[in-house]
Amino acid sequence: MLVARRRKRRRDGEVRDHKITVQYSKDELGEIRRAAEERGLRLSAFVAQAALEAAQEAPRRSRKTCGCQQLVAVLLEQRRQVAGAAANLNQLTRYAHIHQLVPDGVAPAMARLVECAARLDEAAVRVIASRDS
């Protein structure tokens, strides 16, 4: 006669009745087993606890990195603008050398390049500061 085995209940009374399968290398499994033993947990309990802790930490991490992702987007846009301004300045410089004449657009192009570079520096400082906090 087969008797249905009842799953153990956790301290909070919740039954764990869902199962997943994961694969580890020999070294990874050894490291996980040692960590579980050090904490006095069965391997499955240790893995479940670690996964739940990681899942609960993920929203906090994503909120923290969200601002950083926005700053990275600003950096990339500023980099694009600096590259465009530098290309314009190169064209004006070439024109000046060929025609022995400094065109009217040089001063505004230089000002835009300096402005873009300053914003790029500011954004880089903000990304570094947010990464360190």
Radius of gyration of the chain (CA): 29
Closest by CA to 39, choosing from 53, 26, 27, 25, is 53
Reported confidence tier of residue 2, pLDDT bands at 50, 70, 90: low
pLDDT digits (tens, 9 = 90+) for 59-103: 665 555 556 777 778 788 888 888 888 888 888 888 889 999 888
What integer pLDDT is reported at residue 98 of this predicted model?
93
Reported pTM: 0.41
Query: Where is average pLDDT lowest: 1-15, 37-51, 90-104, 117-131?
Result: 1-15
**Which is more confident, 8 or 107?**
107
Number of CB atoms found within 10 A of residue 106's CB: 15
**Residue 15 β-bridge partners:** 9
